[in-house]
Amino acid sequence: MFTLGDFLTADGTNSIFPFIFDRYFESMKILGLGIVAACLISFLITYLALILFRKRIKAIKYVLELAKSIPDLMFMLLLQMAVFLIYQKTGIKLAQVVSVREKAILLPVISISFPISKEVNQAKR
């Protein structure tokens, strides 16, 4: 029978699982935040469309259909490029993209929540 002590790194002293579990829980935190953000974004879009823009529902549906046609990976790439370009032109850092010391949270959460909110808004129709 295997125990956690049986799975050691190459030097034979450290267990490999604390590293894996740390990365796993960090990924699950970002995924959970993305799902919560997607639900909030889709609720906000629906609420604003129904309360404030009742006359422009067709235009809002058209914009949502247009947003649905953007591939998810292209959105993620364009989002990161926009952050880089804004930082390059103005010196204002909108979000942490990647770093060794600090963890990037905002862009991954936005990148995960955008495709989910597109699907949630599609399901509400």
Chain CA centroid to CA 74, Å:
13
What pTM did the predictor assign?
0.67
71: confidence class by pLDDT, cuts 50, 70, 90: confident
How many independent structural domains does the chain possess?
1
Cα–Cα distance for residue pair 34/27, rounded to 1 Å: 10
Cα–Cα distance for residue pair 53/55, rounded to 1 Å: 5
Can you give the pLDDT at residue 1?
47
The 10s digit of each residue's pLDDT in 85-114 is 998 999 888 887 766 677 778 888 888 888
Query: Domain limits at 24?
Result: 4-124
Can you give the pLDDT at residue 6?
53
